């Protein structure tokens, strides 16, 4: 947790993406990259034909292909976390007849499989409501899809990759998250795939900034809660992250990382806590017998944590204390599973809120953005965080949320594939 004023090397902004607000110079037109030939044809030719090469030069070819030309399809970004694998897939919609003719069969099959299903196997899910349509990336237009499955099922995913001969496509698989390191050899051995490993926090920031800049229709990517504690008046309101710096970014996955972001290329990991989404789910499974995140949240929504916690008025004097009533046998027998689930959610959430607030204070930052899949379908925690930031800072701090919650790492990995730093 030492200070890490990390600077990224590239100052390049991703210019040839879906235009945001300003008029562009020639340099910023789609297709322009620092080192690539400005030639549409050569890029597609590079994609369609894949010569057999020795493994050394294949590796070199892949590196070269990433640096100098538009990379061949398919375009994926992967974030292999402690609990979930997040995958983003770019589906091109501007495929010409010619291109289609030259396409290899397994590439077509992969595209078809991913885009015509919303569920994969028993646990894979495509979050259709998060799909970004008509996006321009690296000169191509298409839809960006958001897919997730438990890290536990990665072997099945690798097997599928092997069965579909993914490795013959000679694409680079950009992956981030701890699993990119942990499973690197599994990818190689089981599916003959070489991962291009990326740092998860670099990718996170890159992904956040990108998505916020391109979401131009539909609900705003960034939002906050007005009147978070008043159920009658609590409402989601859009927020633009223009001039976002400095920003405190709180990533709540299995565990929690808190970053202070000063500019696109200048951030530091302030601290973290091991009491995160994994703790909530783990404790809930133990205390209530539930087995999934959705079940745990469902129970929590019905419970009342006050029977479990000692309220300030209960002790007065001391602090509000979590699970404190549970020392008493009679009290233990009188609480329900729902109450326990609720207390666990509230405890974990408030702890994160408390630590976040301290960081914001120390770093002198007023805007706090919460991301990560702990907040997926978890309005209760979002509102608690919104309330906590507002209340304890007397209105100084603002809690912000993003629609694509836990996918930013994967997006950042995809961006690295297309615009290597």
- Closer residue to another protein, CB minimum distance, 207 or 276: 276
Q: How far is Cα 371 from Cα 412, in angstroms, rounded to an integer?
A: 14
Q: How far is Cα 144 from Cα 127, in angstroms, rounded to an integer?
A: 11
- Closer residue to another protein, CB minimum distance, 49 or 354: 354
Instruction: Say whether residue 303 binds another protein (CB under 8 A).
Output: no
Print the SS3 string covering 309-324. CECHHHHCCCCCECCH
Binding to another protein by CB under 8 A, coded x per residue (else -) over 201-240, reads: x---------------------------------------
CB 271 within 8 A of CB 355: yes
Among 181, 223, 262, 391, binds another protein (CB under 8 A): 181
CA distances from 231 to 235, 299, 353, 374, 391 (A): 9, 19, 20, 22, 16
Instruction: Say whether residue 189 binds another protein (CB under 8 A).
Output: no
Instruction: State whether residue 162 is helix, strand or coil.
Output: helix
Instruction: Say whether residue 82 binds another protein (CB under 8 A).
Output: yes
* Residue of 200, 221, 363, 405 marked active site: 200
- Closer residue to another protein, CB minimum distance, 138 or 281: 281
- Closer residue to another protein, CB minimum distance, 24 or 182: 182
Minimum CB distance to another protein, residue 58 (Å): 25
Minimum CB distance to another protein, residue 353 (Å): 11
Give bridge partners of residue 142 from the DSSP assignment: 92, 135
No. of H helices and E strands in the chain? Answer: 15, 16
- Closer residue to another protein, CB minimum distance, 37 or 282: 282
Q: Which two tokens stand for residue 283?
A: 């404790």
Instruction: Say whether residue 176 binds another protein (CB under 8 A).
Output: no
Among 354, 377, 396, 421, binds another protein (CB under 8 A): 354
Render the burial of 124-142: b for 16+ CB within 10 Å, e for the rest: bebbeebebeebebbbbbb
**Near another protein by CB under 8 A, which window of 9-17, 26-34, 212-220, 279-287?**
279-287
Q: Which two tokens stand for residue 339?
A: 């109450």
Classify residue 295 by burial, with Cβ atoms within 10 Å: 0-12, 13-18, 19+. middle
Of 80, 54, 218, 91, the residue nearest 150 (C-alpha):
80
Strands in 33-81 per DSSP E: 75-80
- Closer residue to another protein, CB minimum distance, 7 or 96: 7
Give bridge partners of residue 86 from the DSSP assignment: 79, 148
Determine how many CB atoms are found less than 10 A away from the CB of residue 156. 16
Minimum CB distance to another protein, residue 214 (Å): 27
Strand arrangement of the beta sheet that strand 6-7 belongs to: 6-7, 266-273, 256-263, 247-252, 367-371, 398-402, 222-226, 235-238
Instruction: Say whether residue 262 binds another protein (CB under 8 A).
Output: no
Instruction: Say whether residue 171 binds another protein (CB under 8 A).
Output: no
105 is catalytic: no
Q: Are strands 6-7 and 266-273 parallel, antiparallel or unpaired?
A: antiparallel
**Near another protein by CB under 8 A, which window of 16-24, 36-44, 88-96, 268-276?**
268-276
**Near another protein by CB under 8 A, which window of 210-218, 282-290, 382-390, 402-410?**
282-290
Q: How far is Cα 184 from Cα 194, in angstroms, rounded to an integer?
A: 8
Size of the site for another protein (CB under 8 A): 64
Determine how many CB atoms are found less than 10 A away from the CB of residue 396. 12
Among 319, 333, 364, 394, binds another protein (CB under 8 A): 319
Instruction: Say whether residue 421 binds another protein (CB under 8 A).
Output: no
**Near another protein by CB under 8 A, which window of 53-61, 100-108, 116-124, 171-179?**
171-179
Instruction: Say whether residue 300 binds another protein (CB under 8 A).
Output: no
- Closer residue to another protein, CB minimum distance, 144 or 256: 256
Q: How far is Cα 191 from Cα 106, in angstroms, rounded to an integer?
A: 14
Instruction: Say whether residue 287 binds another protein (CB under 8 A).
Output: yes
Of 200, 176, 75, the residue nearest 135 (C-alpha):
75
> Which 10-69 positions form the footprint of another protein (CB under 8 A)?
none
Residues with a catalytic annotation lie at 200
Using CB under 8 A, list all residues that contact another protein: 1-2, 4, 81-83, 152, 177-179, 181-184, 199, 201, 254-255, 269, 271, 273-279, 281-283, 285-287, 291, 308-310, 314-329, 332, 340, 347, 350-351, 354-355, 358-359, 361-362
């Amino acid at each position: 947790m030492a200070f890490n004023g990390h600077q990224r090397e590239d100052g390049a902004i991703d210019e040839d993406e879906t235009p945001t607000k300003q008029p562009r110079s020639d340099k910023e037109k789609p297709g322009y990259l620092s080192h690539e030939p400005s030639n549409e044809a050569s890029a597609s030719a590079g994609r369609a034909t894949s010569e057999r090469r020795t493994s050394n030069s294949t590796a070199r070819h892949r590196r070269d292909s990433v640096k100098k030309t538009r990379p061949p399809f398919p375009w994926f970004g992967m974030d292999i976390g402690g609990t979930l694998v997040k995958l983003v897939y770019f589906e091109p919609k501007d495929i010409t007849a010619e291109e289609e003719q030259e396409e290899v069969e397994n590439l077509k099959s992969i595209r078809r499989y991913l885009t015509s299903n919303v569920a994969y196997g028993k646990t894979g899910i495509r979050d259709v409501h998060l799909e970004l349509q008509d996006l321009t990336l690296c000169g191509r237009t298409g839809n960006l899809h958001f897919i997730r499955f438990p890290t536990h099922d990665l072997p099945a995913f690798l097997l599928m990759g092997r069965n579909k001969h993914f490795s013959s496509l000679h694409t680079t698989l950009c992956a981030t998250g701890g699993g990119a390191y942990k499973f690197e050899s599994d990818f190689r051995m089981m599916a003959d795939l070489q991962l291009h490993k990326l740092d998860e926090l670099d990718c996170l920031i890159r992904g956040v900034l990108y998505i916020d800049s391109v979401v131009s229709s539909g609900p705003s990517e960034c939002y906050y809660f007005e009147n978070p504690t008043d159920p009658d008046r609590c409402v989601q309101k859009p927020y633009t992250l223009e001039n976002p710096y400095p920003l405190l970014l709180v990533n709540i996955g299995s565990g929690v990382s808190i970053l202070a972001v000063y500019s696109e290329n200048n951030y530091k990991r302030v601290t973290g806590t091991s009491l995160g989404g994994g703790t909530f789910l783990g404790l809930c499974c133990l205390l209530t017998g539930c087995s999934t995140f959705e079940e745990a949240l469902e129970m929590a929504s019905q419970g009342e944590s006050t029977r479990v916690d000692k309220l300030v008025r209960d002790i007065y004097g001391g602090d509000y204390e979590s699970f404190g009533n549970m020392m008493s046998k009679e009290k233990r027998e009188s609480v329900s599973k729902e109450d326990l689930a609720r207390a666990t959610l509230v405890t974990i959430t408030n702890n994160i809120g408390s630590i976040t607030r301290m960081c914001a204070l120390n770093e002198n930052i007023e805007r706090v953005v919460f991301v990560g899949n702990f907040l997926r379908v978890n309005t209760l925690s979002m509102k608690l965080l919104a309330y906590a930031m507002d209340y304890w800072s007397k209105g100084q701090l603002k809690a912000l949320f993003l629609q694509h919650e836990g996918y930013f790492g994967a997006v950042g990995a995809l961006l690295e594939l297309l615009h290597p730093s």
